[in-house]
A and B are shown apart, each in its own frame.
Chain A
Amino acid sequence: MNPLDGVTIVDMGHVTAGPLASWLLQPLGADVVKVERTGTGEGGRDVVSPSEDADADGYYFHSKNAGKRSASVNVKSEAGRDVVRGLAREADVFVENFAPGKLESLGLGYGDLRLENESIVYCSISGFGHDSIDQGQRAYDSILQALSGIMYVTGYDGDPPTKLGPSVMDNLAGYVAATAILAALYHRSKTGEGQHVDISMQDSAAWLMQSRLPFDDDRTANQPAADPYPLSGVFETRNGEVAVEVRSAVQRRQLERLSAVNEFDGSLEDAIAAWAAELTTEDIVSECTSVDVSATPVRGVDEVSADDHLHERGTFEAIDCDGKWRTLPISPYRTAMPDSSASPATGGPGLGQHTDEVLMDVLGYESEVVDELHEEGVVE
Chain B
Amino acid sequence: MTLDITVVEATHTRRGALCGRLLAELGAEVVLVEPPDGHPLRSVVDGSSRAEHYFEAFNVGKHSIVVEDPASDTVYDDLVSTADVFVTDQEAADAGPFSESDVRDRTGSVIYCSVTPYGRTGPRKSHSDGDLAVQATTGITATSGFSDSLPAASAAPVAATFGAFVACGTVIAALYGEDANDSIDVATQDAVLPLLTTLLPEYFATEDPVGRTGNQHPIAAPWNAFKATDGWLYIVAYIDRDWERFTEAIDRPELAKDERFNSVSNRREHADTINEIVRSWVGDRSIEDVVTRLDEEGLTAVAIGHVDSAFEDENLIHRGMRIESDSYVVAGSPFAMSASPGEVRREAPSLGDSAGFDSRGDGK
Closest B residue to A225 by CB, please name it: B155
Interface string of A227-244 (1 = CB under 8 A from B): 111001111100001110
Closest B residue to A273 by CB, please name it: B150
Query: How far apart are the CA atoms of A85 and B217 in the complex, in Å?
Result: 38
Cβ of B302 within 8 Å of any chain A Cβ, yes or no, is: yes
Closest B residue to A212 by CB, please name it: B307
Residue from A1, A207, A234 whose CB has the most chain B CB atoms within 10 Å: A207
B337 in complex: contacting residue of A151, A152, A198, CB < 8 Å:
A198
Cβ of B97 within 8 Å of any chain A Cβ, yes or no, is: no
Also in contact, A228 and B218, with CB within 8 A (given A166-B140, A315-B187):
no
Chain B residues 265 to 279 lying within 8 A of chain A, measured CB to CB, are none
B196: A residues at CB distance < 8 A? 166, 301, 304, 329
Cβ of B338 within 8 Å of any chain A Cβ, yes or no, is: yes
Cβ of B262 within 8 Å of any chain A Cβ, yes or no, is: no
Interface string of B137-151 (1 = CB under 8 A from A): 111111111100111
B171 CB → nearest A CB, Å? 9
Is A315 within 8 A of B170, CB to CB? no
Cβ of B158 within 8 Å of any chain A Cβ, yes or no, is: yes
B70 CB → nearest A CB, Å? 23
Chain B residues 187 to 232 lying within 8 A of chain A, measured CB to CB, are 187, 189-191, 193-210, 212-215, 217-219, 223, 225, 227, 232
B200: A residues at CB distance < 8 A? 59, 63, 301, 305, 327, 329
Q: Which listed segment binds A: B61-69, B100-108, B127-135, B243-251?
A: B127-135
B123: A residues at CB distance < 8 A? 308-309, 312
B145 in complex: contacting residue of A48, A56, A155, A179, CB < 8 Å:
A155
Interface size on B, residues (CB 8 A): 139
Is A196 within 8 A of B209, CB to CB? no
A99: B residues at CB distance < 8 A? none
A244 CB → nearest B CB, Å? 8
Is A2 within 8 A of B177, CB to CB? yes
B187 CB → nearest A CB, Å? 7
Is B44 within 8 A of A179, CB to CB? no
A24 CB → nearest B CB, Å? 8
Q: Which residues of A are in contact with B by a Cβ distance under 8 Å?
A: 1-5, 20, 24, 28-29, 47-51, 53, 55-57, 59-60, 63-64, 128-129, 131-134, 136-138, 140, 142-143, 145-156, 159-168, 171-172, 175-176, 178-180, 182-187, 189-191, 193-200, 202-215, 217, 222-225, 227-229, 232-236, 241-243, 245, 247, 294, 296-305, 308-310, 312-313, 315-316, 326-327, 329-333, 335-339
4 shortest A-B CB distances, which residue pairs? Answer: A3-B177, A149-B307, A165-B143, A59-B201
Q: A129-B319, A155-B153, A296-B129 given; name 19 further pairs at CB < 8 Å.
A: A3-B178, A3-B180, A49-B201, A63-B200, A150-B154, A154-B144, A159-B145, A196-B337, A203-B332, A207-B331, A217-B306, A228-B54, A232-B155, A245-B130, A294-B128, A303-B139, A315-B189, A329-B197, A337-B185
